[in-house]
Amino acid sequence: MTHLSRATLALALLIALPAAAQDDARTLDRITVQAARLDGVSAFDTPASLDLVDLREDAATAGVNLSERLGGVPGLLARDRQNYAQDTQLSIRGFGARATFGVRGVRLYADGIPATLPDGQGQLSHFNLMGAERVEVLRGPFSALYGNSSGGVVQLSSARGEAPGERRVRGSVGSDATRTLGAQWSGAQGGVHYNLAASVFDTDGYRDHSAARRESFNGKLGFDLAGEGTLDLVFNHFDSPRAQDPLGLTRAQWRTDPAQAVAAAHQFNTRKSVRQDQLGLVLDQPLAAGHRLRATAYAGSRDVEQFLPLPVGAQGNPLNSGGVIDLGNDQAGIDARWSWQGELAARPFEATVGVNADRQRQHRRGYENFIGAQWGVRGRPRRDERNRVENVDQYAQAWWRFADRWSLLAGARHSAVRFASRDHYVTATNPDDSGRVRYAETTPVAGVMFDAGADWRLYLSSGRGFETPTFNELGYRADGGAGLALDLRPAISRHWELGSKWRWSAGDLAFALFRADTDDELSVASNLGGRSTYRNVGRARRQGAEASVRASFGEHWQWQAAWTWLDAEFRDGFLTCARSGCAVPDTPVKAGATIPGTARQQFFGRLEWRSETWSAAAEAVAQDRVSVNDIGSEQAPGYALLHLEAARRWRFGDDTLRAFLRVDNALDQRYAGSVIVNEGNGRYYEPGPDRGFLLGLEWRRAP
């Protein structure tokens, strides 16, 4: 048993002890929505698509992946890859769809701490759902106020410890030998509040060679300050000591046996290990006369070791960096902003001005993945470089109700992102790859809101965003030469959104039309010898519509639905590589071709019945076909899935015991749950699992 396993078990036992009863409660409606950076304006009155998902609601899920809770958010596509050596595929309105690992094109935050590095590459794996309270999803033009790579924003927030405290233990077992154990302890005493959560996850995996283990701990310790201020200490630990990578499958392999792993996964024992530790401070201090100061500082490290299936022959090239990645990341940053609520021309007004600086220092080493005839081991060094990314941004925004039924939200952000690489692996056949590049952009946004009625809002917003290449995309030149791809330009996008929000006593309804036109879209230029190179391919457009509804009817029934239509296409033609071993792009992609990784339509529906002791729910999930490469030569078929849930609750004084059962893919459909865009060997498909079961038990004490 590992240290965190023992810690999780100890925390579970500790919180099972009796707790003193206190009074008070906190509801989600009273919490400030941080994604819009507005203190006095609700999400309903913000001229943007902004969804809040309450994570405190009972769920019949494993509580491991954020994708489990995001199905009802329109415009967002979160794919569980059944591969814990990678990460959840997350895209918003088509931004981020081409990411082959991790998350890019979407900004991620956990308790105010960036989970997206300055170069635009992010990770969801350390998001701890056990102690989480809510997740906010911002889409559309106002995402640009978060800087580089802001096709959307996803923020996870842990619950603030309140009196009376809560203690919770949760465990589950499921198909493919999946086991989870989690514990949470939260509360407050005097001017100190706390929320501690730990979890351990193990699985043998749906596919062969896909076993994984994840250990996570998240803590939030807060102190009340004079003048209703707070100071929160946030700390996070994540360890994935073993995550096997089954790799993608060709279409024929997927059709023949979706649970298989390709031979190269076994030959090279493809796998990944990750360890992350992070610490942050968040100060929120109201000042006199409507002024307020917020400041965040953080520092952390993330170490990654990954064994790739790179053929031995490809590593004969002296410029090849090897099949083992050893990556050390240190990151730190600050964000400070001042805000003021008052009146301008005798009408409500709120302004915010802030500065943000982040730094990422990366030690990237590469090794051969063989020693003699032994494959899948660390061999001779082939790469050693020190990389640095820094950004310094300034931003401002203002909201003003300039008429009885009209309000305006406007802002701008100036971002400067600097990349630098210092090569320490220089030989007679591998020249110095050192280099540096700087990108800078100003991104203005504005939106106007009309109060069409007491519970009806109409809005129109527009803005400009940008997306720099990540270090992985800068790492290799498309011409095969040494050094960074310093000729890559950032993609610049212009966003528009027209939306409507309506609410009533039993529910709410939202609808939005959107379009984003991009210049200098980034795409894969070639895949050769385990290297992916990138280049700017011209114009692209992402446009579509979103709708969502939530409603209660009767005393026990609730209904939720979300629908997205997305037309994502390249507006200019270009040449690309369409075969393994291609070094020079030679296959035409026609103007109007679909951007791979995007689905034309997606739907989520949930019908739930709840009584005092029993609950049951049915979920329907459907997705249109998905192109897997730029030329559109193959597509993952569309699918429709049915998931079922049932739960029973018992109350014993202050204690609540809840048992739940979930059946995923109840009709046992075969489908591709995700795709690896432009995979050089044609292994595009990552199969979704067959019918699966999850049985869980949760004990909660909330006196």
Q: What letter does residue 60 receive in the DSSP assignment? A: -
- With respect to residue 193, please indicate whether it lies within any of the assigned structural domains: yes
pLDDT of residue 26: 31
Largest Cα separation within the chain, whole Å, is: 79
* The pTM of the whole model exceeds 0.85: yes
Torsion of CA 648, 650, 651, 657, to 10 degrees: -80
Phi, psi of 676 (to 5 degrees): -100, 105
Question: DSSP characters for 420-472?
Answer: EEEE----SSS----EEEEEEEEEEEEEEEEEEETTEEEEEEEEEEEEPPPHH
User: Which residue range(s) make up the domain with 601?
Assistant: 3-354+367-701
Tokens of 44: 């309903």
pLDDT of residue 25: 29
Phi, psi of 330 (to 5 degrees): -120, 130
Region of 269 please: left (phi>0), alpha (psi -120 to 50) or beta.
Answer: left
Residue 201: is it exposed, middle or buried by C-beta count within 10 angstroms (0-12/13-18/19+)? buried
CA distance 480 to 526: 10
pLDDT of residue 13: 41
pLDDT of residue 2: 52
Q: Which helix (H) or strand (E) holds 4?
A: helix 3-15
Give per-residue burial for 158-183: e unless 16+ CB within 10 Å, then b.
Answer: bbbbbbbbbbbbbbbebbbebebbbb
Low-confidence ranges of the chain (pLDDT < 50): 3-31
pLDDT of residue 27: 33
pLDDT of residue 35: 73
| HSE, side-chain direction, 13 A CA sphere, residue 417 | 22
pLDDT of residue 12: 43
From the CB of residue 390, how many other CB atoms can be counted at a distance below 10 Å?
A: 18
- With respect to residue 44, please indicate whether it lies within any of the assigned structural domains: yes
Tokens of 586: 């030679």
CA 429 to chain centre: 40
Which residue, among 444, 447, 446, has the nearest Cα to 464 in the 3D structure? 444
- The number of distinct structural domains making up the chain is 1
CA distance 255 to 141: 40
- With respect to residue 93, please indicate whether it lies within any of the assigned structural domains: yes
Question: DSSP characters for 461-472?
Answer: EEEEEEEPPPHH
pLDDT of residue 479: 73
Cβ-contact 285, 293 below 8 angstroms: yes
Beta bridge partners of 620: 605, 642
Tokens of 697: 């038990």
CATH of the domain at 421: 2.40.170.20
- For the four alpha carbons of 195, 2, 206 and 661, in that order, the dihedral sign comes to negative
Region of 628 please: left (phi>0), alpha (psi -120 to 50) or beta.
Answer: alpha
Question: DSSP characters for 10-35?
Answer: HHHHHHTS----------GGGS--TT
- With respect to residue 362, please indicate whether it lies within any of the assigned structural domains: no
State pLDDT tens for residues 199-226.
Answer: 999 999 999 999 999 999 999 999 999 9
CA distance 171 to 12: 10
Three-state SS for 617-683 is EEEEEEECCEECCCCCCCEECCEEEEEEEEEEEEEECCEEEEEEEEEECCCCCCCEEEECCCCCCCC
Cβ-contact 424, 385 below 8 angstroms: yes
- With respect to residue 64, please indicate whether it lies within any of the assigned structural domains: yes
Cβ-contact 674, 626 below 8 angstroms: no
- With respect to residue 359, please indicate whether it lies within any of the assigned structural domains: no
- With respect to residue 360, please indicate whether it lies within any of the assigned structural domains: no
pLDDT of residue 29: 42
pLDDT of residue 18: 36
pLDDT of residue 32: 58
State pLDDT tens for residues 559-582.
Answer: 999 999 999 999 999 998 877 777
- With respect to residue 624, please indicate whether it lies within any of the assigned structural domains: yes
CA distance 232 to 285: 11
pLDDT of residue 351: 96
Which residue, among 116, 74, 111, has the nearest Cα to 99 in the 3D structure? 116
CA distance 143 to 121: 16
Q: How far is CA 550 from CA 433, 606, 641, 664, in A?
A: 54, 9, 20, 22
What is the residue whose two structure tokens read 């814990």? 84
